[in-house]
Amino acid sequence: MQTKLEKQANQLWEDFGEGSAKFWQKYEQLIKVARKENQIALKRPQKKPPVLDLLTAYALLPKTYYHNLSSKEPLYAVITGRMLAALLASFILWIAWITMSWFGTLIVFAVLLAIAYAIYNVWPHDELIALDIQPDYMLFGTKDDQKKVEHKYIIDFEKSITSFSFTAYYPQLAIEKNPRRMYTIPLMKVGKTGHKPLSKTEREAIFQFLIAIIRENKLKKKTKK
């Protein structure tokens, strides 16, 4: 059964069509209304979370754009890299101690500290990934490699604390090659203190939105049969 917001969105589709600028203006107004209504609804105690429609799920996203996502560094890489760096620094300091004065050794130590700071805080460990969630598509990737996936192609997804993967099915590719594509997007923010997972609220809102997308795609597929 369709919600009131879903019926309103479908009516907009019939009145204006997706390509109309007026359609998207009205659609954004519906999203704002959904946000206000759900802010009120969230204050009421609920025994279990409801199954959200697509419009409501989008309205409940705390953020729709992330510019600083990245994969978490593997623990073994962090430990190995820092151990090797510490051994190398110790060896250089030992050479400086036996060949230079204490003042020269102090200068070498200061230079090593500056290099260590640059490696771990200034130079990026990996490329940052941006995620832009729109009502009808997702745009994600690095600065030089952006991918756009329309929601109507998403059929499944898997989740974890550090990332989520979703499968897109492109029927137009079915004749020539495998029509399925899997994409993985990290859910780790890069900040001054290192990698940090998105909050539980942000992660759950994204997952709810993906569930709503897949649910709507299944309903559309049934109505076409």
Instruction: Kindly report, residue by residue over 80-97, the tens digit of the pLDDT.
Output: 555 556 656 666 666 666
Please report the pLDDT score of residue 56 as a whole number. Answer: 87
Please report the pLDDT score of residue 194 as a whole number. Answer: 67
Taking the C-alpha atoms of residue 36 and residue 50, their distance in angstroms, rounded to an integer, is 17
* Whole-prediction pTM: 0.60
Residue 151 has a CB neighbour count (10 Å cut-off) of: 22
Does residue 147 share a domain with residue 67?
A: yes
Does residue 147 share a domain with residue 180?
A: yes
Q: Which domain holds residue 81?
A: 75-122
Does residue 209 share a domain with residue 151?
A: yes
Taking the C-alpha atoms of residue 139 and residue 180, their distance in angstroms, rounded to an integer, is 18
Does residue 175 share a domain with residue 138?
A: yes
Taking the C-alpha atoms of residue 185 and residue 192, their distance in angstroms, rounded to an integer, is 21
Does residue 197 share a domain with residue 100?
A: no
Does residue 174 share a domain with residue 118?
A: no
Q: How confident is the model at residue 138 (pLDDT cuts 50, 70, 90)?
A: very high
Does residue 211 share a domain with residue 132?
A: yes
For the chain, give the mean pLDDT: 75
Q: How confident is the model at residue 136 (pLDDT cuts 50, 70, 90)?
A: very high
Bridge partners, residue 181, by sequence = 168
Count of domains for the chain? 3
Please report the pLDDT score of residue 191 as a whole number. Answer: 73
Does residue 86 share a domain with residue 10?
A: no
Does residue 100 share a domain with residue 65?
A: no
- Is residue 70 within 8 Å of residue 190, measured between CB atoms? yes
Residue ranges with strand state E in the chain: 65-69, 129-133, 137-142, 145-150, 154-159, 163-169, 180-186, 188-191, 194-197
